[in-house]
Amino acid sequence: MQITFASSKDTATRLVARIIARDSFPADLPAHVREGAEAARFAGKAGQVFETWYEEGGRLVRLALAGCGNGNGEALAGHAGTERAGAALAAKYLTSGESALVLDLTGSGLTAEQTAGALVGLSLRSWRWDAYRTKLKDEQKRSLDKVIVIGAPDGAEAAWDVEAAVVKGVEFTRELVTEPANILYPESFVARARERFAGTGVAIEVLGEDEMRELGMGALLGVSQGSVRKPQLLVMKWLGGKPDDKPALLVGKGVTFDTGGISLKPPAGMEDMKWDMGGAGAVTGAMLAIAGRKAKANVIGVCGLVENMPDGNAQRPGDVVTTMSGQTVEVINTDAEGRLVLCDAMTWAQGQFAPDVMVELSTLTGAMMIALGSEHGGLFSNSDALADQLLAAGKDSGDKLWRFPLSPAYDKLIDSPIADMKNVGPRYAGSITAAQFLQRFVNEGVDWAHLDIAGMVWADKPGATWDKGATGYGVRLLDRFVRETREG
């Protein structure tokens, strides 16, 4: 979406939108427009849209009123209400035949932050991936590609410049999560990251299969050994803070396709497992956002990228692997592969970068989807302070989290009779035992959080700021966390 700021209306643009607070119609709104809106029960609730037509100066105007609410239950604080308003406009007019929209904020009373929020909503809800759709009907094709903002408050353009970088990060994550596994696999994931990060100031490093074998990453390599696709460890370094500041470490699970391996998943719905790299996608998009807005912080992103396939060389249930940390794991279920990828990635990254904080994201367990559905990501942490920071960042960004317990009482559920641990416990507390497994690979003195985002990276129906498909969850959460805790 192309967004520009102007001082006056472009008379060539027919579609004009106004953002309306609840029960607060602007004084300059024509009387018949207000009467029509009230008759249609439009009250400015967050996400409501009312459309009408009228003549002005000999031309026909297509006027849309978008509600942003007022914070009383149906609209959130800050920019969230205007974000819902912008997203509702995008949903309604993306395929309307209109190519441009004038967003008239004259007399709206919106702040710079709220204005940027409206543009975030417009941009995010406009994102679609039509690369493989060759037979769309005209009425299905995207037409709206330009927004002209007039009457914006002071500072709005600068605020939008910052948020535009975050939008690009979300869009990149959605692209990665949406791509099919024959297009996006570990090596092509790395190639796309290299292309997108060119010129951003992010330094890219990649470890291949031979290097990981020399380092002793037996758990990660065990997952990948059944696939012809070679594993990769993608490292993205943004050093925008002080030289002596410890970095924040972001780690993402990147299983570019997960068949379950020898513990094969049922065929129904297996096509969804292209998004089992959603954690890596979120970390990569967040790094693009952080670099794009030139964050004054040191942040390292590390993604373990593998494909989990069931060929004759695949890992078997009952195998024992030795992790880079030296701890051994009995592989009970080859479909509990994400934690095997993450444990080696975490071990290497902590040793390499000595972070004080490590946040890991992964589409790790189906049990998390049972517990939280698609409303919250699950949060586990060894630090109350870090957990509180992430919960606050989730609330502010809209990428919501809910905290779960960690306790030594759960450790016995993953004890193995022949190795240091099993990679899966019994049916109950499956998300917790997965977190307990990962905690065993956290170095002393590192504040760590595990975010199980299995229910959040893909949506079966449209949401406020996304269409059906990839949501981009995690990018805004991580960016907000870095803003609020790592930048001065």
Cα angle for residues 165, 166, 171 (degrees, 5° grid): 100
Alpha carbon 335 to its chain centroid, in Å, reads 23
CB 49 within 8 A of CB 92: yes
Residue 422 to residue 427: CA distance in whole angstroms: 13
Length of the chain as a residue count: 488
Name the 3-class secondary structure at 331.
coil
As a whole number of angstroms, the distance between CA 231 and CA 100 comes to 44
The residues, ordered by sequence, that sit 6+ positions from 214 with a Cβ below 8 Å of its Cβ are none
Is 146 an annotated catalytic residue? no
Are the CB atoms for 279 and 360 separated by under 8 Å?
yes
The two three-digit tokens of residue 473, written as one number: 């969850």
Q: By C-alpha distance, which of 324, 297, 272 is closest to 468? A: 272
* Residue 1: CB atoms within 10 Å: 20
Look up 174 and say whether it is catalytic: no
Nearest to 76 by CA among 31, 40, 114: 114
Give CA–CA dist 182/404, Å, rounded: 35
Question: Residues 34, 45, 125, 339: which is the catalytic one?
Answer: 339
Catalytic one of 194, 230, 246, 265:
265
Distance CA 374, CA 358 (A): 24
Residues marked as catalytic: 265, 339
